[in-house]
Amino acid sequence: MRQLFLSVLLLAVIPFAGIHAQTKIKLGHINSQELIAAMPESDSAQAQLKKHTQQLETQLEKMQVELNNKYENYINEAEEMSDLIRQTRETELQEMQQRIQQFQMTAEQDLQNTRTKLFRPIFDKANKAIAEVAKEQNFYYVFDSGSGALVYQSPESEDIMPLVKVKLGIE
């Protein structure tokens, strides 16, 4: 009974397998990182991100200089201070150090948010162009060779970078 069922199943599947085998699946690949770098919007976003980074670094340096100055003053005057004043200054220095650490953490989050805000439209535009080219050229799959996840690339896989660059107006 089981063999009969398998035989009937194979007879039902074989015609579909023949049709499917005749259909060539068109594969493509693109290095999305290279595409993003080639887009003119990327330069502008990178410049804005660099400017923002420099502003945060400048503020952090100012805070660090202020802490260092107060620490040097504390060291120079520590022997002449009463216990109450010494404890007050130590507490003040610890609080400044904590504010600097908090600023660093917040700045890292802010930079990540700014990067996302600046580059999200660029990524979306690139992905839209890739999808449009894939649809126009009848690709079944397009793999990102720049993500590091591509293990094997068939010689039959077509690099669609030139097509997407044309779509985006990039030379």
10: in domain: no
Q: What is the pTM of this model?
A: 0.71
Strand partners, 29: 143, 159
- Domain containing residue 122: 23-168
Q: How confident is the model over 73-101, as pLDDT tens digits? A: 999 998 899 999 999 999 999 999 999 99
What local confidence, expressed as pLDDT, does residue 154 receive?
A: 72
CB-based contact 143:29 (threshold 8 Å): yes
Q: How confident is the model over 117-169, as pLDDT tens digits? A: 999 999 999 999 999 999 999 988 888 888 866 656 677 788 888 999 998 99
C-alpha–C-alpha distance, residues 131 and 142, integer Å: 9
32: in domain: yes
CB-based contact 27:157 (threshold 8 Å): yes
CATH number of the domain that residue 138 is part of? 3.30.910.20
84: in domain: yes
13: in domain: no
- Give CA separation, 6 vs 2, 15, 37, 124, 149, in Å: 6, 15, 54, 48, 38
Please give the tally of structural domains in the chain: 1
